[in-house]
């Protein structure tokens, strides 16, 4: 597991270097470790090295790891996968952040099912910026309407946007997608005081995402190696 800790150092250095290239403070970009399919022991090693935010795609797997890691009280869990209606109750109860809201029905259920003793769920709207049929997320022109709806829900706090750009695109198309997201994000920040998070960029494109204004990069492969599934 020492290699995981070494990879964490390398990822942090990559973030710092990317920030320096575009005159940004490294503190302006948060690292989310995407720990789906990884064992609880890997999370423990990253935790010991100072990582606190972890992203999960699969609910039952995440709940099991949360049970195994109850002694790590200051972990912050982000749900980043597609959300089915029958999963909202557990997601609302066991996560601090949800990054993948793309329907009013899901937003409403998460707000209604968020336990009253917990603070509001911190949420991002997932945007399908490249209009890919195979991906979740709202179209760019739907962001404003969904944001207004979420802003009225008492147990959700709108924090910003998340996207997964098309894979295998050329650098010009990638830049266009990131720039379009930055414009959407800028528009939201001018409307909502709570909006401060643009979750954009992964292992292979974090430097370009940071240059385009990302405030949170979601890194799995560069931290844990290739996933088994």
| Domains of the chain, CATH where assigned | 2-224 (3.20.20.10)
List, for residues 81-140, the tens digit of each pLDDT value: 999 999 999 999 999 999 999 999 999 999 999 999 999 999 999 999 999 888 899 999
Question: What token pair was written down for 21?
Answer: 């290239």
Model pLDDT, residue 166: 84
DSSP state of 117: T
Give the pLDDT band of residue 153 (cuts 50, 70, 90).
Answer: very high
Percent of the chain with pLDDT over 70: 97
> What's the helix, strand, coil split of the chain in %, to 5?
45, 20, 35
Query: Distance (Å, rounded) from C-alpha 117 to C-alpha 138?
Result: 30
pTM of the model: 0.96
Distances (CA, A) of 170 to 120, 167, 176, 206, 208: 39, 9, 10, 15, 12
Residue 162: is its pLDDT beyond 60? yes
């Amino acid at each position: 597991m020492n290699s995981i800790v070494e990879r964490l150092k390398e990822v942090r250095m990559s973030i710092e270097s990317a920030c320096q290239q575009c005159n940004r403070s490294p503190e302006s970009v948060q690292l989310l470790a995407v720990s789906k399919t990884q064992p609880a022991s890997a999370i423990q090693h990253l935790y010991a090295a100072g990582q606190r935010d972890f992203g999960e795609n699969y609910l039952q797997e995440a709940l099991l790891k949360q049970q195994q890691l109850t002694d790590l009280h200051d972990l912050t869990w982000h749900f980043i996968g597609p959300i089915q209606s029958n999963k909202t109750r557990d997601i609302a109860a066991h996560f601090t952040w949800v990054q993948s809201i793309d329907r009013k029905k899901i937003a409403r259920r998460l707000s209604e099912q968020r336990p009253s003793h917990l603070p509001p769920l911190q949420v991002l709207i997932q945007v399908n910026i490249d209009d890919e049929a195979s991906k979740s997320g709202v179209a760019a022109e739907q962001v404003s309407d969904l944001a207004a709806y979420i802003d009225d829900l008492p147990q959700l706090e709108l924090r910003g946007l998340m996207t997964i750009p098309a894979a295998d695109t050329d650098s010009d198309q990638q830049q266009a997608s990131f720039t379009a997201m930055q414009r959407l994000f800028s528009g939201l920040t001018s409307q909502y005081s709570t909006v401060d998070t643009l979750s954009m960029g992964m292992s292979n494109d974090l430097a370009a995402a940071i240059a385009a204004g990302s405030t949170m990069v979601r890194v799995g492969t560069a931290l844990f190696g290739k996933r088994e599934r």
